[in-house]
Structure 1
Amino acid sequence: MKPLITGAAGHIGKNLAKAIYRKYDLVLTDVKEDEELHRYGHFIQADLANAQETEQLMDGIDAIVHLGAIATESTYEKIQKANFDSTLHIYEAARKHGIKRIVFASSNHAVGFHPINQSIGPDAPHLPDTFYGASKAFGENLANMYHKKHGIETACLRIGSYLEKPAEHRNLNTWISIRDMNQLIVRCLEADRIGTSVFYGVSSLHNDYFDNRDAAKIGYAPEDNPEDYREEIENVKLENVTDYIGGAFTNFGR
C-alpha cells in the first residue's frame, strides 16, 4: 500500500511515519520542510490550502491519512485555509484520482459541548466548541457526502489528548498514547469496509466520555490505559475546568 500522510511534520504524523515506514511505501507532506521525514518516505513540501499543490501529491496513492491542519483554536481566517479549505482539497483530489480510503483526523472538539459523563457514541450530533471544532465537524460531514456521491470511505477519528502520558484529570477519559494512535490509524487503513465511520482516538473502548466499542470491530485493542496514571493525575485539574467534553476549549472566545 502507498499511503499519503499529510501534516507529516506534526507530532502524530512524524510518530506514525517512524512506526510504519518499513511496512508501507509512504509519501509524506507538510507545509514546512522537515529533513528528518526524508528517512521515512518520499517527502513533498506542499500547502494543502492550494488545490493544485494538493492534487500533485496524488500520483499512485492508495489511501490518505489526513492529519494536516491547525490543531488548536485560531482565527477563523486561519482555520478556514488550513482546515476547511485543505480538507475540501484533499477530498476533491482523492475523487479525481480514484482514491477510495481516507483516515481523517477529526477531534473530540467536534462534539466538545456535550456534557461529560454521558459516554457518547459515534452517532453523537456535532456540538463543536470552537472554530477548530467546527472545522472537524465540517470534515466529517464532507466525508459523508463524498462517500454517498463518490464511494470514498473515511474513518473519522475524534482524537482526544495525544500525549506521551496523561497530564491532568480530564485525560483519564481523553488520552491516547502514541502507540495506540499508530495502531488505530493502521487498523483504519487495513479494514475491509468502513463506509463513513467515526471512532474516538482514545486509549479506551469505553469510558465516562466516549463509547468507542465500534473501534473494536476493526481490530483496535488499546495497549495503554490511562487508569494506570490515576494516582499521579487524579487531583491535577486545570483552573478553567468545565462540565463539557471539550474542556477549556468551551471557554475560548467567551
Structure 2
Amino acid sequence: MKKLVLTGAAGRLGSYLREPLSKLCDELVTTDRAADIGKLYPNERYVQADLADLAPMVDLLQGADMVVHFGAIGDEAPWDQILPSNIVGAYNIWEAAYQNKVRRVVYASSIHAVGMYPKNQFIGTDVPHRPDTFYGLAKCFAEDLASLYWEKRGVESVCMRILSAANVGNPRALGSWLSYDDLIHLVERSIDTPVTGFTIVYGVSNNDRAPVDNAKAHYLGYRPKDNAEQFAAQMLATSAPLNPQDLSDMCHGGPFATIPLGESAASKLNIVDDSKKT
C-alpha cells in the first residue's frame, strides 16, 4: 500500500503497531494529541491532531488506502469526555474516510460493547449490543456507524472487539488475554484480507479459557498463537477465588460491569504501562 494512517499512535497499543504497520506501506502517517511520540521509523510521519476536529482528519486521510483507528479514551470516563473523543472522533474518522475514498477502517472496538453478558455464555460476534459503561456505549456507536457506512457508503470496516491487550495480571485475563504479537497479527489480517465488508471479530489470543466465539470471522485468517494458560498456575495461586455473585467476576466486562457510570475502571485491572519505546 502507498499510505496507511494510524490514530492513537501515542497510546500503549499504538506503540506496538507503529513498526509493523510501517512495513506494510510506503508511508505511515501516525497521529495523536501528544506533542511528540519519540523517534520515528524511516517511512513514518507524525502529525499532532485532535480526533474531535473533522478538518484535520480529512487532511490526514487524503490519499490513504486504509486507516487503523486506535485513538480514543481507553477507559470509562465522564460522558462529556467520552463524547468528543470516542463518539464524535469515530464519526470524524469514518466521514473523513468516505470523503477521501479510503477503502477500509480497521477499528479498535472492545468487549465492553457487550460487557454485561455473563461469562458462562459463550458469545459470538453477532450477539446484540449490551454495553457496560459510557465507554462501551461509544464502542456500540462506532460499530453501528461502521455498519451504516458500509451499507450506505461502501466503506469497509473490521471492528476488533479487544478483550484485554495487556499483561496477565488477574484471573479474568486467563480467558481475555490478547498478546501483543496476536494483536499485530489481527491488525495485519484485518488489513490484508481481500474483502471484509462490515466485520466484527474478537481480539483475544488462543486461550484455553477464552469466553467468546470467533468462528464467524475465521475468513479473516486470524489464527492466534499465544495462550494465557502458561500463567494460570501462578495467577490462581496468588489471587482470591472469584465470586459468582459478583458481576465484576461473572460478566465479560469485568470491573466495568460494576463501576458507577463515568468512573475509571482501569485501575482495578492491574495493567502495567509497558509501551514500546522507539
TM-score, normalized by the shorter chain, greater than 0.5: yes
Structure 2 counterpart of 1:245 = 252
TM-score by length of 1: 0.94
CA contact (8 A) 2:174 2:207 kept: no
Distance of 1:39 and 1:217 partners within structure 2: 31
Q: Counterpart in 1 of 2:274? A: none
Per-residue deviation at 1:206? 7.6
For the pair 1:17 / 2:18, whether they are aligned, the reply is yes
Same amino acid, percent of matched pairs? 38
What SS is found at the alignment partner of 1:252?
A: coil
Moved more, 234-243 or 89-98: 234-243
Matches within 5 A, 1:193-232: 193-204=195-206, 207-232=209-234
Q: 1:76 matched to which residue of 2? A: 79
Letter in 2 for 1:204: N
Structure 2 CA distance for partners of 1:34 and 1:215, relative to 1, 3 Å? farther
Change in Cα spacing, 1:223 to 1:203, as seen in structure 2 (3 Å) is same
Counterpart of 1:18, as a letter, is E
Report the 3-state secondary structure (helix = DSSP H, G, I; strand = E; otherwise coil) of the residue aligned with 2:201: strand
Contact 1:119/1:206, CA 8 A, preserved across alignment: no
Q: Structure 1 pair 197/69, CA: closer, same or farther in 2 (3 Å)?
A: same
CA displacement, residues 18-62 of structure 1 (integer Å, 9 cap, x when unaligned): 233233221100011224252361111100101112111112110
1:120 maps to 2:123: yes
Give yes or no for contact 1:101–1:154 (8 Å, CA) kept in 2: yes
Give CA deviations for 1:171-192 in whole Å, capped at 9, x if unaligned: 1111100010011001000101
Displacement of 1:205 = 7.7
Corresponding residue number in structure 2 for 1:102: 105
- 1:91 counterpart letter in structure 2: W
1:92 to 2:99 alignment: no
Match of 2:275 in 1: none
Question: Are the aligned partners of 2:8 and 2:70 in contact in 1 as well (CA < 8 Å)?
Answer: yes
Tell me the distance in 2 between the aligned counterparts of 1:63 and 1:98.
9
Write the distance in 2 (CA, Å) between the matches of 1:114 and 1:168: 19
Q: Please give the alpha-carbon distance, in whole angstroms, between the structure 2 residues aligned to 1:208 and 1:5.
A: 28
Deviates more, 1:141-150 or 1:232-241: 232-241
Contact 1:4-1:26 within 8 A present in 2 as well: yes
Is 1:150–2:153 an aligned residue pair? yes
Q: Is contact 2:182-2:205 (8 Å) kept?
A: yes
Q: How does 1:61-72 map to 2 (within 5 A)?
A: 61-72=64-75
Q: 1:220 to 1:205 in 2, by over 3 A?
A: farther
Distance 1:138 1:37, change over 3 A: farther
Deviates more, 1:126-135 or 1:9-18: 9-18
Contact 2:208 2:229 survives alignment (8 Å): no
Match of 1:6 in 2: 7
Q: What's the RMSD between the two structures over aligned residues?
A: 1.8
SS in 2 for 1:106: strand
Partner-residue secondary structure (3-state), 2:30:
strand
Worse overlay, 214-223 or 152-161: 214-223
Question: Does the Cα contact within 8 Å between 1:147 and 1:195 map onto a contact in 2?
Answer: yes
- Read off the aligned partner of 2:148 and give its amino acid letter: M
Residue 205 to residue 93, structure 1, CA distance change in 2 (3 Å): farther
Distance 2:220 2:115 in 1: 25
Measured in 2, the distance between the counterparts of 1:222 and 1:248 equals: 25
Q: Could you say if the C-alpha distance between residues 181 and 253 of structure 1 is closer, same or farther in structure 2, counting changes exceeding 3 Å?
A: same
CA contact (8 A) 1:205 1:211 kept: no
Counterparts of 2:131 and 2:37 in 1: how far apart (Å)?
35
| 2:51 counterpart residue number | 48
Quick one: distance in 2 between partners of 1:215 and 1:205? 17
Aligned to 2:273: none
